[in-house]
């Protein structure tokens, strides 16, 4: 295999369709990773997307649940999750907490293609 993709979602309440589109794209890439020679697919929530965890809209809940059930790695900025007291919803969806600077640096070091939504 030869590729790695990170879908970084920064959109929030004002662009829920963009949030779910990014999550759907990640899931579809994940589902077809073997035939498309993709080694890894991750989703990373940042800024507005983390704020969505305060009161998860139904359509976002559905997609986050699908990602969790599929085993797709979903991460979020640990500073934002902790500062905004969102650890319970993050745990509900098995969201991995990581400093954004560390996630973004890892994407660069490990040769990820980053898509933003």
> What are the tens digits of pLDDT across the range 103-117?
999 999 999 999 999
Q: What CATH number is given to the structural domain containing 83? A: 3.40.1260.10
- Range 58-62, long-range pairs (CB < 8 A, 24+ positions): 59/16, 59/20, 60/16, 60/19, 60/20, 60/23
Predicted confidence (pLDDT) per residue in 32-68, tens digit: 999 999 999 999 999 999 999 999 989 899 999 999 9
Q: Is the pTM of this model over 0.85?
A: yes
Domain count, the chain: 1
């Amino acid at each position: 295999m030869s590729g790695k993709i990170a879908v970084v979602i920064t959109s929030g309440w004002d662009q829920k369709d963009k949030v779910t589109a990014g999550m759907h794209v990640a899931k579809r890439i994940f589902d077809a990773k073997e035939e498309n020679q993709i080694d890894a697919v991750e989703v990373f929530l940042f800024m507005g997307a983390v704020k969505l965890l305060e009161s998860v809209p139904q359509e976002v809940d559905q997609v986050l649940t699908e990602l969790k059930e599929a085993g797709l790695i979903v991460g979020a900025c640990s500073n934002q999750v902790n500062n905004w007291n969102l650890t319970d919803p993050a745990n509900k969806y098995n969201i991995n907490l990581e400093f954004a600077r560390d996630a973004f640096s890892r994407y660069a070091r490990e040769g990820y293609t980053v898509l933003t939504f």
